[in-house]
Amino acid sequence: MSDKGRRRKTIGLEGPGMAGEREKLTRTDVAEAVRAMASFPWQEMLDVQRETAQVLRGIKEASERAAGDGAAGKEASPTRAALA
């Protein structure tokens, strides 16, 4: 089978930061990108993000408590208190 009569289907891609450059992507390029995104460990990333948010909330709460304790003459490290 000859490729002589076939045209490659391409998709023009233009976006911010590309300075007017235009890149041609084939359907195969797009399919590979979709497969790569499908295999990315999204759930693991979301779990790490959730854990990070919990730690930051703990630090904020400990900092607020330490600010109250500081007024009473007690010195405390909010980060150590949150991580303890």
pLDDT, mean of residues 12-30: 67
Q: Are residues 36 and 46 in the same domain?
A: no
Domain count, the chain: 2
Phi–psi pair at 6, nearest 5 degrees: -90, 140
CA distance 3 to 30: 21
Domain limits for position 48: 42-83
Q: Are residues 35 and 46 in the same domain?
A: no
Q: What is the pLDDT of residues 27-77, one digit of tens each?
A: 888 899 899 989 989 899 999 999 999 999 999 999 888 887 665 555 556
Q: What is the pLDDT of residue 48?
A: 95
Answer yes or no: is 52 within a domain. Answer: yes
Q: Are residues 27 and 53 in the same domain?
A: no
